[in-house]
Amino acid sequence: MDTKINNYMEDCVAHAIDGVMHDVRCCSCDKCRSDITAIALNSLPPKYVVTRKGQLYTKLGTLRQQFEVDIIAALTKAAVIVGRNPRHEPDEYY
């Protein structure tokens, strides 16, 4: 099978995470970043695309303001959760 399936939501979360992590002022180590991403993606609906055309249609649908708000809210909630329960010692990364 030559076709690659992509969850477009992963791209959207990856695009927004730096700004949210900066605003929330949480640890930005790889471990915390991965945890925040996973928690946020688990709370958001997937947007699977297969073709470039499908990706463009999905991207057009994501231009709605509510879509962005949902992603930022999910990332913020995830950052607070991870900040309260990091999987490393408090001084280990930051």
Tell me how many degrees the CA angle 4-28-68 measures, rounded to the nearest 5. 55
Judge whether residue 21 has pLDDT over 70.
yes
pLDDT in tens, 23-53: 999 998 999 999 999 999 999 999 888 877 7
Q: CA angle, 37 as apex, 32 and 80 as ends, to 5°?
A: 60
Q: How do residues 40-91 score in pLDDT, each as one tens digit?
A: 999 999 988 887 776 666 766 666 777 889 999 999 999 999 999 998 876 6
Contacts of residue 27, defined as CB under 8 A and 6 or more positions apart, other chains included, come to 82, 83, 86, 88, 93, 94
Who's near 66: CB < 8 A, 6+ residues apart? none
